[in-house]
């Protein structure tokens, strides 16, 4: 005799829906990518802010940035966003930023992090990666009304544009980087322990939008 568990039926805006194992797996992958990105970002920020001999660790920052981009890319592949166009735009931003980062890394004899810091114009390329990250923060702030993502949404572009335009002094940049790393860590931790169904969203909306198309 075998027993089966009846799937939970949710009432959405445009009808009923159920959550499948694939839905749950996609959320787990999405969150795992965010955790990887956050861990790499926090460690990298810690190296930048807490080391007096950073030159010997610049190669580590390059690897950490690679892990950050990988985690962010995985999250953008599996994130649930109602607006398909926005989803594709964030993925395109990530792709442009990664290609630009590879070009900078292989086109400059200096370590990647040092090149980006000393040549702010490189942010026109690398910044697309962080624009994609900001898109995730904005989505999370809009959907879940969390303080850390509300703060991260403007903080990331302010830090990048401030450095690009020379508006921020080094101490201010360090403070913003430390705050951003802390908030990113809080965000990733809270996502890791959040119930899965809210991240899946209302599947009836996805079905309705797909039917309209």
- Residue 2 domain-assigned (yes or no): no
- Residue 208 domain-assigned (yes or no): no
- Residue 10 domain-assigned (yes or no): no
- Residue 213 domain-assigned (yes or no): no
CA distance 92 to 27: 21
Residue 158 pLDDT grade (very low, low, confident, very high; cuts 50, 70, 90): very high
Give me the percent of the chain exceeding a pLDDT of 70: 83
Say whether pLDDT at 64 is over 90. Answer: yes
The helix/strand/coil state of 17 is strand
pLDDT tens for 73-125 read 999 999 988 788 889 999 999 999 999 999 999 888 888 988 998 999 999 99
- Residue 4 domain-assigned (yes or no): no
- Residue 147 domain-assigned (yes or no): yes
pTM: 0.89
Tokens of 27: 């959320």
pLDDT recorded at residue 74: 96
pLDDT tens for 20-47 read 788 889 899 999 999 999 999 999 999 9
- Phi, psi of 111, rounded to the nearest 5 degrees: -55, 150
Residue 2 pLDDT grade (very low, low, confident, very high; cuts 50, 70, 90): very low
Place of tokens 């009432």: 11
Query: What total of structural domains would you count in the chain?
Result: 1
- Residue 175 domain-assigned (yes or no): yes
Burial of residue 205, with CB atoms counted within 10 A of its CB: 0-12 exposed, 13-18 middle, 19 or more buried: middle
Domain coverage including residue 189: 17-199
- Residue 193 domain-assigned (yes or no): yes
């Amino acid at each position: 005799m075998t027993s089966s568990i009846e799937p939970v039926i949710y009432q959405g805006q445009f009808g009923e829906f159920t959550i499948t194992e694939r839905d749950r797996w996609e959320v787990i992958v999405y969150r795992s990518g965010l955790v990887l990105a956050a861990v790499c970002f926090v460690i990298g920020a810690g190296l930048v802010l807490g080391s007096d001999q950073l030159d010997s660790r610049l190669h580590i920052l390059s690897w950490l940035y690679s892990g950050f981009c990988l985690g962010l890319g995985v999250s953008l592949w599996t994130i649930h966003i109602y607006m398909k166009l926005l989803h594709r735009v964030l993925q395109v931003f990530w792709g442009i930023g990664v290609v630009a980062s590879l070009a900078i890394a292989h086109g400059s004899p200096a370590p990647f992090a040092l090149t980006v810091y000393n040549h702010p114009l490189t942010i026109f390329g690398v910044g697309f990666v962080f624009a994609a990250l900001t898109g995730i923060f904005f989505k999370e702030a809009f959907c879940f009304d969390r303080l850390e993502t509300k703060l991260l949404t403007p903080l990331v572009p302010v830090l990048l544009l401030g450095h690009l335009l020379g508006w921020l002094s080094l101490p201010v940049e360090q403070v913003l980087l430390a705050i951003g790393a802390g908030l990113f860590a809080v965000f990733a931790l809270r996502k890791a322990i959040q119930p899965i169904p809210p991240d899946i969203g209302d599947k009836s909306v996805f079905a309705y939008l797909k039917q309209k198309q």
